[in-house]
Structure 1
């Protein structure tokens, strides 16, 4: 919503109300997040909490569903990797369909042979271990995706709460603008104000209505964005419920920074190091030749004799000793180590930046709430009273109300930025650092249309 427009018509709104209302009216100009009124009494569905949003994301997110299928595939591949090679059955018939004595089957020699590949160097064990590590990597990737999905949900939830607050503010300002228009018309009819003032007030009402429509559209967009977090095509809830103004207690930075090595992204890269190390061992083992053992029976029809047939074979590794694959595996192992180091540095950088944004927004919100807004409110009430007494002019009351509304808008922005940063930090760490009631409580019932 264009806040400058709200400030402009909000200032003139204060002028009109300074004529109509008692000194306590000034308190109504500062919309409290906890007492924002319901704009449309036709609210259809129950409010949605953050915990409910988390549940929907975990059960309905197509991204997480795709990762779960990958985990199932990894389990199947691990099973396959641990299987032994199948034996081979061969049947050989000699001395048939020739000429002379070998024209028929009287001189046929039939050999039935069973062959088995015997893997040497612990290849099967190493394959099974590599498959287990593949599953571990898939699990770590799922944990990272899960943390990212929940963080995205929390961020979108906070954005919806902020959109609801801005819509509530726009609704209040529209009602005030309409009241000012009625007051202005009464003053014009009484000859206390020029007729041209009606046009200005009508324009302010139109701007207020446009700003409310824009805020309503932004809230609808935020609702749809939240529903999309769990794959919803439409938002089946009316509003989000949460303590938007609540700033939860957070752990110390030194404690948080100690969790960096256990973040999902870093843990995933650590698992890839172990996986690549196992692949080095496997490629080394693949350089060891395997033994093929065959045992069978031979039937000599011409003499009606039987004989055993045994065979042992092993490849001679004159040229291919798997040296290329072994070198590649070592290079990828070194690469995994560098990627782990890069992931650790990136996680630290992202965490420092997000923590800085959270700290700054948290401090801004606290200063605005505890120091700036109370002072601006008192100043606004004093100047409003003085204006009614004829001690202040129109410019003074417009200026103080403009400052008050700007501070209120900055307060909402700071709260949203704080919750967004907390969600990002929790997504990076893969764990909660604050009470979920920070934006998931149901103490406040919202009802904006």
Structure 2
């Protein structure tokens, strides 16, 4: 878009120079501006080729079978429901890992406590008496002593392990909620900034540029003044693109934390 605009500018300046209404310096500056933008576009072309190669590699393809991707950079206008997303945090794999460790520790505690219980053992058999050359049936039972403290240390250690897993899960949840809240606020700020640029700032700069072009053609504005208005528009458009790019990266982080599309 910038190149198309600057080509038109160069053509207009060339007409005024030919008519003797503008100095050759204006034409040289217009030509330099156009050449600079073409160089930028060429560099961006290499970046796009590299990005396409990387994208194909993520899909397991060495050689891309596509030359472009389609999509909209516009930031979604609908607000992000922070409370609904926070409810999904409990399903995050990182938190689930700690919760699984807590449940595993509880299972080990149950086993250790079961092992610590008094195990009554019953035994029976036949015994031969040598003195009388007789046989008799014998029976008995035994109760382990000190069973109350059996596995006490092991249970305490497992309880500490369980508490640590629970504390880690809670700490992870708190950190992730804080991160999520920050990402959502940033996303909302990007939404507001995009709306301001698209609906207010850029349209005003475009109107100012049209007036500057009219004034230049009438000889009321210098080329530098017209060129300044052009630069303002290009900067505003580039700012919008950068803002939209950051907004989408921010959205990706929200979805990564919550595990849900917004």
**1:260 and 1:429 in contact (8 A); partners too:** yes
Which residue of 249, 253, 263 corresponds with 2:82?
A: 253
- SS of alignment partner, residue 243 of structure 1: coil
**2:202 and 2:237 in contact (8 A); partners too:** yes
Alignment of 1:354 with 2:188, yes or no, is no
In the superposition, the TM-score normalised over structure 2's length comes to 0.75
- SS of alignment partner, residue 217 of structure 1: helix
Residues paired across the two proteins, number: 243
Matches within 5 A, 1:6-45: none
Deviations 1:322-377 (A, max 9, x none): 56654432222111011111111111011011101111111100111111111111
Matches within 5 A, 1:5-404: 172-178=1-7, 180-181=9-10, 193-195=22-24, 199-245=28-74, 247-285=76-114, 325-404=154-233
Bigger RCO (CA 8 Å, 6+ sep) = 1
CA distance in 2, matches of 1:418, 1:381: 30
- The structure with the largest helix share of the pair is 2
CA distance in 2, matches of 1:224, 1:279: 50
- SS of alignment partner, residue 185 of structure 2: helix
Which residue of 411, 415, 420 corresponds with 2:244?
A: 415
CA distance in 2, matches of 1:257, 1:389: 60
Structure 1 unaligned segments of length 5 or more: list them. 1-171, 292-314, 434-449
**2:75 and 2:194 in contact (8 A); partners too:** no
Comparing 175-184 with 236-245, greater Cα deviation is found at 175-184
Over 3 Å counting, the alpha-carbon distance change for 1:231 and 1:285 in structure 2 is farther
Over 3 Å counting, the alpha-carbon distance change for 1:353 and 1:235 in structure 2 is farther
Superposition deviation, residue 184 in structure 1: 5.2
Which residue of 411, 432, 435 corresponds with 2:261?
A: 432
**2:112 and 2:154 in contact (8 A); partners too:** yes
- SS of alignment partner, residue 69 of structure 2: coil
Superposition deviation, residue 185 in structure 1: 5.6
CA distance in 2, matches of 1:183, 1:276: 78
**1:280 and 1:333 in contact (8 A); partners too:** no
Superposition deviation, residue 276 in structure 1: 2.1
Over 3 Å counting, the alpha-carbon distance change for 1:200 and 1:390 in structure 2 is closer
Structure 2 unaligned segments of length 5 or more: list them. 121-143
In the superposition, the TM-score normalised over structure 1's length comes to 0.46
Q: Aligned residue for 1:16?
A: none
